[in-house]
C-alpha cells in the first residue's frame, strides 16, 4: 500500500540518491524510486515534472548536503592543520560519500551530472588548496597537493569497489595519507578518534547513506 504521509522533494531526492549510489544515473527512474518510498507515481508528479527533474533534485541535494553544508562547518575549525586533519578523516570515513563522488565523475559525460560534479570537485579542491596555503604552502604547491590528495580519495573509493582498500586498518591508512601530504598527526593524539566535524543538523536518511558525514 502507498504511504499516506506526505513526502517532500527531499524525501524523493534522498531515495533517488540511494538509487544513484547503487546503480548509477540509469537507476534513477520514477517507478523504482516510488517503490523505495512506498509511494504512488501520482504523488511523484505532484512534486516533479519528470524523471530528469528528479535526477536534478538528487544532484542538488548531494551538492548541498555534502559540500555546501560541510565546508562552512570545516571553515569554523580555526587552526588550518587541524582543519586538514578533520577534512581528511571526514572524507575518508564517509565510504558511501566517496563512492558517489567517484560514480558521478565516471558518469560526467551526461551534461546534468557533469555540471554538478565539476562544480563540487572544483570547490572541494579549492577548499583543500586554500587550507594548505594557510599552513604555509605556496599556492602552486598547495594546488598540486590538493589535486593529489583528492585523487587518493577517489582512488580509495575505487579500491573499495573490489574490496582492495585497507578498511581493516582504516585509521592507520588515513594517518599515513595525512603524513604523506605533510599533515602529520599531533604527537600523542589519536586523530581518527578526535577529528570530528563540527555538529550538523540531524538527517537520518542522509546518515544512512553517509551523506554529510
pLDDT at 192 over 50: no
Q: What is the largest CA-CA distance in the chain?
A: 60
CB 189 within 8 A of CB 174: no
| Confidence (pTM) | 0.81
Q: Mean pLDDT, to the nearest integer, of 11-26? A: 93
Q: How far apart are CA 17 and CA 211, in angstroms?
A: 10
Query: How far is the C-alpha of 30 from the C-alpha of 32, rounded, in Å?
Result: 6
**pLDDT by residue (tens digit) across 102-134?**
999 999 898 889 999 999 999 999 999 999 999
CA 88: distance to chain centroid?
A: 12
Q: Which residue do the cell numbers 586523530 mark?
A: 191
- For the chain, what is the radius of gyration of the CA atoms? 18
Q: What is the SS3 assignment for the chain?
A: CCCCCCCCHHHHHHHHHHHHHHHCHHHCCHHHHHHHHCCCHHHHHHHCCCHHHHHHHHHHHHHHHHHHCHHHHHHCCCCHHHHHHHHHHHHHHCHHHHHHHHHHHHCCCCHHHHHHHHHHHHHHHHHHHHHHHHCCCCHHHHHHHHHHHHHHHHHHHHHHCCCCCCHHHHHHHHHHHHHHCCCCCCCCCCHHHHCCCCCCCCCHHHHHHCCCC
Quick one: 153 exposed, middle or buried, by C-beta within 10 A (0-12, 13-18, 19+)?
buried
Interatomic CA distance for residues 85 and 111, integer angstroms: 34
The confidence score (pLDDT) of residue 174 equals 83
pLDDT digits (tens, 9 = 90+) for 78-92: 999 999 989 888 888
What's the mean per-residue pLDDT of the chain? Answer: 84
Per-residue pLDDT of 146-187, as tens digits, reads 999 999 999 999 998 898 887 767 788 888 888 888 876 665
Amino acid at each position: 500500500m502507498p504511504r499516506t504521509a506526505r513526502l517532500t522533494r527531499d524525501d524523493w531526492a534522498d531515495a533517488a540518491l540511494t538509487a544513484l549510489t547503487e546503480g548509477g544515473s540509469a537507476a534513477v527512474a520514477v517507478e523504482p524510486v516510488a517503490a523505495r518510498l512506498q509511494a504512488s507515481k501520482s504523488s511523484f508528479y505532484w512534486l516533479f515534472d519528470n524523471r530528469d527533474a528528479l535526477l536534478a533534485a538528487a544532484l542538488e541535494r548531494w551538492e548541498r548536503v555534502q559540500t555546501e553544508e560541510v565546508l562552512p562547518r570545516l571553515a569554523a575549525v580555526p587552526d588550518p592543520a587541524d582543519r586538514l586533519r578533520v577534512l581528511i578523516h571526514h572524507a575518508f570515513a564517509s565510504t558511501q560519500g566517496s563512492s558517489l563522488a567517484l560514480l558521478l565523475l565516471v558518469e560526467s559525460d551526461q551534461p546534468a551530472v557533469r555540471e554538478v560534479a565539476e562544480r563540487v570537485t572544483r570547490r572541494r579542491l579549492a577548499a583543500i588548496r586554500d587550507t594548505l596555503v594557510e599552513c604555509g604552502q605556496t599556492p602552486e604547491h598547495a594546488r598540486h597537493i590538493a589535486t593529489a590528495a583528492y585523487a587518493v580519495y577517489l582512488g580509495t573509493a575505487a579500491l573499495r569497489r573490489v574490496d582492495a582498500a585497507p578498511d581493516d586498518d582504516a585509521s592507520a591508512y588515513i594517518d599515513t595519507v595525512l603524513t604523506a601530504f605533510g599533515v602529520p598527526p599531533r604527537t600523542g593524539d589519536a586523530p581518527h578518534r578526535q577529528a570530528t566535524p563540527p555538529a550538523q543538523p540531524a538527517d537520518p536518511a542522509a546518515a544512512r547513506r553517509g551523506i554529510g558525514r
